[in-house]
Every structure is written in structure tokens, then in C-alpha cells.
Amino acid sequence: MKRDEIVKAIYYCVYDSAGCDSCEFDRSEEFNSARAEADCREALMCMLAEAEQERTAILRSLFSGEWVESEALQEATGLTFEECFKTFEFSRTAEWWSVVGKTEEERKRNGMKTTNRFRLWTRC
């Protein structure tokens, strides 16, 4: 694969996943490798900024004493589930999909939806 083809593939992939309003993207334009590289950098910076904002919001919630979903906390901190379990207070909620499902597809599911959450230990 030539360098331009690789850049083009990355360019389309980044823009398809970025969803960034400040980045300009028009698939109908003639492909320009140099511009694409610059655009990819801009889109990636937008994605990183959004990810950092999400991470900050998760950590802010944790430090405020709120319950934080385990997957979000693990991603934000880089800790494993076991490390989170040893470090934070743990909560597991089980609910029927037919009751808590947000979409028709979810409401048709059989069984339980389990949600694992962590928060900082609250001490008396």
C-alpha cells in the first residue's frame, strides 16, 4: 500500500469516527494527501480533547462521592476491575431488561441487566 493510500484510509476512518463539528470534511472533494494529514491531526486533537473532558467528568463525579459505572472508571483510571473492587466501594444493581430497557429491542430481552458501579469509600 502506498503512503497516500494509507493516509487516505486513515483520513476517512478518523473523520467517520470523529463526529467533530469544528472539523471540515467533504468526501466529494478531490483528495489531497498533505491537507488530509493536517485534517487528521485536527480531528484526532478534537477526539482527544473530548476524551479528556469525559475522563475529567468521570473523575470529578468520583471525587464528589457519586457512583460511577465500572467500565467508565476503569477506562478513565487504567485500573482493572479487581483493583477498583479493592480500592472503592462497590455496588451491583440487577434490573429486568423488560422494565428498564430504553429501546424496544432492549425491552424484548430476557433476563437481568446488571450495572456495576464504584464510589469513594464513605467513612463514618
How high is the pLDDT of residue 80? 94
Could you report the per-residue pLDDT of 52-73, keeping only the tens digit for each?
899 999 999 999 999 999 999 9
How high is the pLDDT of residue 105? 92
Could you report the per-residue pLDDT of 34-54, keeping only the tens digit for each?
666 676 677 667 777 888 899
Q: In the numeric block, which cell numbers belong to residue 33? A: 494527501
Domain extent for 117: 67-124
Whether 53 and 110 map to the same domain: the answer is: no
How high is the pLDDT of residue 45? 75
Q: What is the mean pLDDT of residues 95-106?
A: 91
Burial class (CB in 10 A: 0-12, 13-18, 19+), 82: exposed
Whether 82 and 47 map to the same domain: the answer is: no
Whether 73 and 99 map to the same domain: the answer is: yes
**Alpha carbon distances (Å) from 76 to 10, 28, 42, 105:** 25, 37, 23, 29
| Pairing of the two strands 89-96 and 68-69 | unpaired
What global pTM score does this model have?
A: 0.61
Whether 51 and 71 map to the same domain: the answer is: no
